[in-house]
Amino acid sequence: MYNIDELDALLLSELRDIAETLKIKNYKKLDKQGLIYKILDQQALIPESQLPERKVVVEKPATEKPAIEKRSNVVASNNSTQGINEKNSVATNVEPSNSPSTPAKTTNNATNTNPGQPMSSRGNNGHIRRNRNTTPNAVNLDIAIDSEGVLEIMQDGYGFLRSADYNYLASPDDIYVSPSQIKLFGLKTGDTVKGAVRSPKEGEKYFALLKVETVNGRTTEEIRDRVSFEYLTPLFAQERLRLDNGPTQYSTRILNLFAPIGKGQRGMIVAPPKTGKTVLLKEIANAIAANHPEVYLIVLLIGERPEEVTDMSRSVNAEVIASTFDEQAERQTKVASMVLEKAKRMVECGHDVVILLDSITRLARAYNIVIPSSGKILSGGVDAHALYNPKRFFGAARNVEEGGSLTILATALIDTGSKMDEVIFEEFKGTGNMELQLDRKLANRRIYPAMDVPASGTRREDLLMDKEVLSRVWILRKFMADMTSIEAMEFLLGKMRGTRNNEEFLASMSDT
């Protein structure tokens, strides 16, 4: 079986001979690069026992004409006396090639007196052989380097490893993956592939993947029998994500008590404009990164302002993928699709993944622009088919019985004055198993976090909290049931300011 480097070193005629033995159709119409990939694909389909024997190419020794006479003639044209003397001196120093008394080994023991110049040596027949590498410090471009990327498979069967630095979109750093490698290892779109990569040769445009080392942090043998994400068993969240990140981080402390988040949670943050939803997401991301290093955290920003993207990437220890509001809707949907596929592939391999999406309303707006019109238009100008992909994204969050989880916290915009935003929120209402509502009245009074605590909560919170803590939280809820959102938040902040953590807060409430 040939590899890509061996095939690249052969001539086009030799490649055509190999293609003929492998019974490749229309191989004469292909150029050298296309013929190489066709041979690699055909080898992957044929069992190794049935492959024809490899053709061994033996290079013939190069024969050169004696250059002594030519050299003497050139010199003689300038100075005849000097040329005759040089001819005689060379003739006396060079032995005949057929002389048995001169051993062949002595002609190859030449030493280079000037290390900065190319090496030259004499053969058995006295002729000069010069090194083909005429540059003193040549760089070998065929050296393989380790690289990593997220796979995107194209319609023709080949794929590219996309870089997170370019938000998983096409870039000059893309790495070509052949169809034979995709079939051999069972790769899918979204797989994080790490392996040996070589730089593009003359006439090539992309880097090429030579060897696959790991896929999603697992070996190639471990991922062969993985179960597809759609066939994994979803369960309620059972392991809580601890969001305690300091005594003054009241937003995450309140979330821990009244709207806990577990691994596999599908949460929605319902937020009017200017209520601090982006700052809240940043605090949640920092808390998860500090308390759960085993979780792979992705912050996905769709339709946000560029300065907020920069601020998020600098202040959060997570992978920040963004498509700002000034980009086309096709790019926004492409970025979201690649992030979702990457998360699914990681969950298939048993990893815990958290995606913080801001916002699902803008993602639905982008899909409403991109999708072809179905003729079924809802109120507000929303196409009936445009909400399928956002629901597919949000519905992918789940805790998996076989191991791994995908947690998604998405923000939904309300009270924007747009009928479309209201329709989108109504379509997603009730689909999550955790809901956090932000209140504009609290934000207007500059009371942060602007949470409407009585209206927020988590389904099956008994699976995430201890019975003792849960009973005390229920007592607090009963006490705040008749309060407005402003009164409830002022009450909680007043009691929490003198405590270092939630345990001290609950203990102080039981004493009173």
Binding residues for ATP are: 262-267, 274-279, 305
C-alpha separations of 308 from 303, 314, 443 in Å: 11, 10, 19
DSSP 494: H
Secondary structure (DSSP) of 195-220: EEEE---TT--SEEEEEEEEETTEET
- Please count the other Cβ atoms lying within 10 Å of the Cβ belonging to residue 357: 26
DSSP 443: H
Which three-class secondary structure state does DSSP give residue 383?
Answer: strand
What's the token pair of residue 108?
Answer: 């190859």
Comparing CA positions, the residue from 265, 261, 266 lying closest to residue 251 is 261
What's the token pair of residue 79?
Answer: 């100075």
293 phi-psi bin (left φ>0, alpha ψ -120 to 50, beta other): alpha
Comparing CA positions, the residue from 275, 274, 319, 328 lying closest to residue 301 is 319
What's the token pair of residue 488?
Answer: 């409830």
- As annotated, the binding site includes 262-267, 274-279, 305
Looking from the CA of 180 toward its CB, the CA atoms found within 13 Å total 19
Buried-state track 433-445, b at ≥16 Cβ within 10 A, e below 16: bbbbbbbbebbee
- Please count the other Cβ atoms lying within 10 Å of the Cβ belonging to residue 83: 17
